[in-house]
């Protein structure tokens, strides 16, 4: 085989490998984002339809309405694995930033939005409401996570109530095995007693997953959805 043929063969292989790498990068950076954005929009639309049905049922005289004052208010439905139950807003990340929160943190769940750590507190309840999200790929929901600062507000709604949490700590860096960060009273958070806490987690570094970034916050206020948006979401 002549030197010319060898050089040409190697060159063609390099071009092929380079093309594959470029296509893979485009898939990671672009296509997974497109799919995730569509999936997250679908999850929010699904929630809004369910909330509208619930409101219509309540208005027609269902349990716990003014038409049945003796009935106890219906409890929120149990969280179902892989299903959305709330929408999160973080003004620090942009006034158009909103993501669905689903139950569980499995890979397929986090492709559709943020994931609630099963076994941690429910939204607004005593304990630690802990949520994970991708830093990069699959919509980059927590791409700007390092920008979060003490005093920032994180707002969630389950269709009935607005829950406003206030962040108390800047991003804390730890390893994935440090599961104590989602304890009811996380040791490194600075909290010393039981409360209604929020934990947000994402990957670190930006394009890796060797570590985790954590912020903690506490429930600052709640208000019914009928009262309108909370102050944190008003421009």
Of the candidates 112, 52, 51, 41, which has an alpha carbon nearest to the alpha carbon of residue 83?
Answer: 112
Structural domains present in the chain: 10-233 (2.40.260.10)
Residues 173, 102, 53, 64: what is their CA dihedral angle, to the nearest 10 degrees? Answer: -70
On whether the CB atoms of residues 128 and 120 are closer than 8 A, the answer is: yes
Give residue 59's pLDDT.
76
Q: What is the pLDDT of residues 41-60, one digit of tens each?
A: 999 999 999 999 998 888 76
pTM of this structure: 0.83
Q: Residues with catalytic annotation?
A: 134, 203, 212
Q: Report the pLDDT value the prediction gives residue 23, as an integer from 0 to 100.
A: 40
Show the low-confidence residues of the chain (pLDDT under 70). Answer: 1-31, 33, 60-75
Q: In this predicted structure, what is the pLDDT of residue 22?
A: 38
How far is it, in rounded angstroms, from Cα 69 to Cα 220?
30
């Amino acid at each position: 085989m002549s030197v010319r043929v060898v050089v040409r063969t190697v060159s063609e292989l390099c071009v092929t490998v380079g093309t594959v790498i470029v296509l893979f990068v485009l898939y990671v950076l672009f296509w997974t984002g497109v799919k995730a954005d569509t999936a997250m929009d679908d999850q929010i639309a699904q929630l809004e339809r369910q909330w509208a049905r619930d409101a219509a049922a309540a208005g027609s005289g269902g349990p716990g309405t003014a038409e049945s004052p003796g009935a106890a208010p219906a409890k929120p439905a149990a969280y179902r694995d892989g299903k959305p139950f709330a929408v999160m807003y973080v003004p620090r990340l942009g006034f158009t930033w909103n993501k669905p929160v689903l139950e569980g943190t499995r890979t397929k769940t986090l492709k559709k939005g943020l994931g609630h750590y099963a076994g941690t507190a429910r939204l607004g309840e005593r304990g630690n409401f802990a949520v994970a999200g991708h830093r990069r790929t699959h919509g980059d929901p927590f791409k700007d996570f390092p920008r979060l600062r003490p005093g920032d507000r994180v707002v969630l709604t389950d269709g009935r109530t607005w829950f406003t949490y206030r962040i108390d700590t800047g991003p804390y860096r730890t390893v994935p095995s440090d599961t104590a960060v989602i304890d009811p009273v996380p040791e490194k958070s600075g909290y010393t007693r039981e409360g209604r806490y929020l934990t947000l987690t994402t990957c670190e570094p930006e394009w890796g997953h060797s570590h985790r970034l954590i912020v903690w916050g506490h429930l600052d206020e709640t208000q019914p959805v009928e009262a309108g948006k909370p102050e944190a979401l008003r421009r």
